[in-house]
Structure 1
Amino acid sequence: MAELLLPDLDPTSDRAVFRQIADHIRDAIERGTLSEGDKIPSEARLMQHYGVARMTVRNALQVLQGEGLTVAEHGRGVFVRAHPLVRRLASDRFARRHRERGKAAFIAETEGTGGKPSVDSLTIAEEQVSAEVAEKLGIPLEDHVIRRSRRYLINGQPVETAVSYIPAEIARDTQIALPDSGPGGIYARLEELGYRLDHFVEEIRSRMPLRDEVRALKLAPGVPVFRLVRTAYAADGRAVEVCDTVMSSDAYVLSYELPAR
């Protein structure tokens, strides 16, 4: 990387000096002068150029880390943060044609963007349903569900966690309750069991991640998450699955085609 040319501070600005420095570096990142993986000029270099104290430079770098633009590596310096391959959440990702080709939604969409999908941290258990899930499934609180929890990765980088809840009376003693749910995933198994899927309802909210989510998704400071809760309905109107997904916000674009009728 060529020597980064930094502008000078504006002495007439009422913007704090550390924020001006952060603005300069952010602008270089946004223009592509600094690319993913490039090293930010050292604290000593920034102190010399701007004629400021070390704490001022550190405050500027902290702003950029808080925005999720940079990441500090102990003993090496501060680098422009690499972003995962973006997965587009299209409105047809649960189309039957994917299941008929033996592809679950995550695999079909990730492969479509040239990424390598994988799944780990899979756990399966039967448990009593929670109040939130019971309401969405329309089942009594004393009922049980099969809980499938997993983490999804693209090119080895975690991008989302997902927990599916399927009524135990449907999924117990079926392949849905096994680690390998088979080609097309659990939606293909539900349809084989006679629950032909008709539509899905999704609720999406953004928030800052919880501590466990930061660890699971390896999130940089300042990166929020999407929480997407999806309910799958069979043709007879019955809710047959609730999926609670937490996604790294910088790994996704939400893209929906909506009818105008």
Structure 2
Amino acid sequence: MANTAKYELLADELAEVIRREYEPGDRFPTVIELAKAHGVAPNTASRAVQVLKERGLLTGKSGGTTRVRVQPIQQIRRNTRYQAEKDMVLQPEDARRSTGVAELDQGVPVSSMYENHVALDVVPAPPDVADALGLEPGTLVLRRIGTRQHRRGAGVGRSVSYMAHDLATRNPDLFDASREPWPGGSLHQLHTVGVEVGRIEDRVTASMPTPEEMEEQDIPPGVPVIRVRKISYSVTGPPVEVMDIPLPADRVELRYETPLEPWS
């Protein structure tokens, strides 16, 4: 205790105050207010606030309003989810609309989401997407940008998917934003254009978030982002869709199960 810095002691004290007296989204006192209230230098109060942001208890830009953080939903992302998603494709629309694999990951029903929408546009495929889909550079693709927020003030979850425009035109409904979020997700969309997905490849990397991602997804300082590039392949072999899913590491666990064949 004797070697603990004053700002760390203050951070511990403030953490208990937050748990007892504040609700998620509440405004937190300014550095000057904290310094006066606790009889410390502004620099000590500022460092304590930074510690609490790193712990995920507070959020806000330096110099702006600091608030008690709305905690993200913890999720477990399993590779077995893909078979469950494919099985859902052949279910009636009511079943597909009420239950999605993402809801199984997070344990939150679709109906309780604060925000859940998809924006559509047609764009030239970025070079890495064109390469993953086996397309010529600049080929048009249908882009879907999905946005989810479980509670007002919480970080936003986002995914971006790409499907070749020529493939998507087999079903004009895929370009109708009023039909989003699409019941059954991308595997059902592919089903409507005559594609059965035979395998899915996840390419997983990690990097630090961009400033925009930190703000939009409410990522604490020092937390990396796990980046999943999901590539879906048809039963006949070619890739048919690419989806990029950024997952802040403070709210996700990846679980991969690999069945092994017996020796005899």
Verify same fold: TM over 0.5: yes
Give the Cα separation in 2 of the matches to 1:142 and 1:61: 46
Contact 1:159 1:247 in 2 (8 A): no
What's the counterpart of residue 7 of structure 2?
18
Residue 5 of structure 1 corresponds to none
Specify the alignment match of 1:129 in structure 2.
125
CA deviation after TM superposition for structure 1 residue 214, in Å: 3.1
- Match 1:60 to one of 15, 24, 48: 48
1:78–1:177: structure 2 CA closer, same or farther, 3 Å change rule? closer
1:169 and 2:142 aligned: no
Matches within 5 A, 1:100-249: 100=91, 101-102=95-96, 103-110=99-106, 112-113=107-108, 116-117=112-113, 118-120=115-117, 122-156=118-152, 157-172=154-169, 174=171, 175-179=173-177, 180=179, 182-249=182-249
Is the Cα–Cα contact under 8 Å of residues 160 and 248 in structure 1 kept in the other structure?
Answer: no
| Inter-partner Cα distance in structure 1 for 2:156 and 2:206 | 15
Corresponding residue for 1:98? 88
User: How far did 1:16 drift?
Assistant: 4.1
Q: Does 1:258 align with 2:258?
A: yes
1:248 partner amino acid: P
Aligned-partner Cα distance in 2 for 1:255–1:129: 30
The answer on whether the counterparts of 1:146 and 1:166 sit within 8 Å (CA) in structure 2 is yes
Distance change (3 Å), C-alpha of 1:169 and 1:55: same
In the superposition, the TM-score normalised over structure 1's length comes to 0.74
The question of whether the paired residues in 1 share the 8 Å contact of 2:168 and 2:193 is answered with no
Work out whether residues 170 and 193 of structure 2, in 8 Å CA contact, stay in contact via their aligned partners in 1. Answer: no
Could you list the per-position Cα deviations for residues 103-135 of structure 1 after superposition, in whole angstroms to 9, with x for gaps in the alignment?
44324544x445724423x32222222210111
1:72-128 CA distance string (max 9 Å, x none): 699xx9665331222321222222223334144324544x445724423x3222222
Deviation string 1:53-87 (CA, Å, 9 cap, x unpaired) is 3322322222222343323699xx96653312223
Offset at 1:35? Answer: 8.2
Q: Hey, what's the Cα distance between the residues in 1 that align with 2:207 and 2:230?
A: 17
2:126 maps to amino acid: S
Give the drift of 1:36.
Answer: 6.7
Distance 1:80 1:154, change over 3 A: closer
Question: Which residues of structure 2 form unaligned runs of 5+?
Answer: none
What stretches of structure 1 of length at least 5 have no aligned partner?
A: 1-8
Point out the structure with the larger helix share: 2
Distance 1:207 1:33, change over 3 A: farther
Pair 55,224 (structure 1): closer, same or farther in 2 beyond 3 Å: same
Contact 2:103 2:109 in 1 (8 A): no
Could you tell me the percent identity over the aligned residues? 24
* 1:226 aligned counterpart, secondary structure: strand
The CA RMSD over aligned residues, in Å, is 3.5
Change (3 A) 1:70 1:190: same
Report the AA paired with residue 87 of structure 2: R
